[in-house]
Amino acid sequence: MHPDDIEYLTVADVIALYDVAMQESDQPASALVREDALRSAVHHPRNLGYYGDAGLSEQAVELMLHIASAHPWVDGNKRIATLAFYAFLRKNSVSVPGQEALRSVADLLILWLSTPAEQRPAVQDELVALVDSWVR
């Protein structure tokens, strides 16, 4: 899929998702403390598509990983990273097959965040392969 055919989330989309997610979990929204880091994370998939020839699956995973590692909010960063991942896929007509897939993605995100940098590519490849199975 060419980057011109992909629908991207905006920073405003991700901020709105964050506010809804925190309301639905009955938690107060925390401060957005690193807006520049959020902006960079949200734009990263598009750059990968144009300059790195990344496909939809890789872009979705990169969006999630970059939001989580950017830590733009005081609280809820993994939650919004996962929600942005799903929103990006939905926006591009990709459905997540069920609760087990949701848990797998969340588990792999936590594993990626807790893994030493030199081992992260293997976890990331596993995430991309999982998403590839949904896209096909």
CATH class of 3-135: mainly alpha
Select from 93, 112, 92, 109 the least CA-distant residue to 101.
109
- Spell out the domain ranges in the chain: 3-135
Backbone angles phi, psi at 35, to 5 degrees: -60, -40
**In contact, 130 and 101? CB cutoff 8 Å:** yes
Report the pLDDT value the prediction gives residue 3, as an integer from 0 to 100: 66
pLDDT by residue for the chain (136 residues), tens only, comes to: 676 889 999 999 999 999 999 999 899 889 999 999 999 999 999 999 999 889 999 999 999 999 999 999 999 999 999 999 999 999 999 988 888 998 999 999 999 999 999 999 999 999 999 999 998 7
CB atoms within 10 A of CB 10: 11
CA pair distance 114, 43, nearest whole angstrom: 24
Report the pLDDT value the prediction gives residue 15, as an integer from 0 to 100: 97
Strand partners, 32: 73
**In contact, 73 and 18? CB cutoff 8 Å:** yes
